[in-house]
A and B are shown apart, each in its own frame.
Chain A
Amino acid sequence: MAFQILLNFFLAFVWMFLKSSYTPASFFVGYFFGLLIIYVFRRFFDSRFYLVRVNAVAVLFLLFIKELFLANWSVLKLVLRPKLNIKPGIFALPTELKKDWEITVLANLITLTPGTLVVDVSFDNKTLYIHAMDIEDINEAVDSIKNSFEKAIMEVSR
């Protein structure tokens, strides 16, 4: 993916040299045409067309923001409720992610989701230990959320 971006920059510079006008505007025009060229020649690269991955990163970022707001809403409801009836606990979540940065992003996402907080990652990187605010109703719902997060992260790294 980094190679494709670098190639795109190179094509933009080639375009600037062909036009012999060295302005940001001609750089962007060249970048756009380079993007088209890379799209046409996408089957010669071994990774996917890189805009797909850029899009996946954007989706992941929006997911982060959305979860942050939902988490705050749930904490707000919990704290301002007159009676505390929560059942906290630590549960284990097996993960399929392999690379360190993927696990870090997943842990950050989980920490910013409603009612969950990562306490520990096991030594073999296969299990996350998560402290949940309300273990009863959350356990299954959270598992489905985790699957969507894991999928979004895999979409980026694939």
Chain B
Amino acid sequence: MFVGIFILLGAFLSLVAAFGLIRLPDVYTRNHAASKSATLGVMLTLLGTLIYFYFIENHFNSRLLLGIAFIFMTSPVAGHLISRAAYNSGVKLWGKSVVDDLGRDRKKMNHRQS
């Protein structure tokens, strides 16, 4: 019962992440969808697998637990690094973006140096 809920929810969230990757307009907003929905989707799927093997096969697989912990720790960092690399290599924000404090502060720093 719980297994089904977890697995289906995880699959659904991964699907939403994929939709987000297609629909959203620029790198940064896509990164939102990828780094959040995909994380929770994979975590829920792994949790469902863990519960299935524990309650139905009577086998506690600690590697799944470690996998959940590792994904939980690493995927926000990956999202951060990707968006930072995109910004540093000059990928433009979406046209309708409103503010860009980072660009403003970078410009200020460059003025002071030159």
Contacts and interface: CB of A to CB of B under 8 A. Distances in A.
B33 A129 contact: no
Interface in A68-126: 68-69, 71-72, 75-76, 78-80, 84, 86-92, 107-108, 111-112, 115, 117-120, 122
Interface size class of chain A, counting residues whose CB lies under 8 Å from the partner chain: 20 to 34
A86 B23 CA distance: 12
B96 A88 contact: yes
Given A87-B97, A88-B94, A90-B93, A120 B102 contact: yes
Nearest to B103: A90
A120 B98 CA distance: 18
B37 A120 contact: no
Nearest to B9: A72
Interface of A: 64, 68-69, 71-72, 75-76, 78-80, 84, 86-92, 107-108, 111-112, 115, 117-120, 122, 127, 129, 131, 133, 135-136
B36 A88 contact: no
A32 B105 CA distance: 54
Given A79-B19, A79-B24, A129 B98 contact: no
Given A84-B25, A89-B93, 14 more contacts: A75-B16, A75-B17, A75-B32, A75-B36, A76-B16, A78-B20, A90-B28, A107-B80, A111-B80, A117-B28, A117-B79, A118-B83, A119-B102, A131-B28
B80 A133 contact: no
Interface of B: 13, 16-17, 19-20, 23-26, 28-29, 31-33, 35-37, 39-40, 72-73, 76-77, 79-80, 83-84, 87, 93-94, 96-103, 105
Nearest to B44: A72
A111 B37 CA distance: 12
B80 A68 contact: no
Contacts of A80: 16, 19
Indicate the member of A92, A111, A112, A127 with the most B CB atoms within 10 Å. A111
Given A86-B29, A117-B83, A112 B36 contact: yes
A86 B24 CA distance: 10
7 contacts: A75-B36, A88-B26, A88-B97, A90-B28, A90-B97, A117-B31, A118-B80
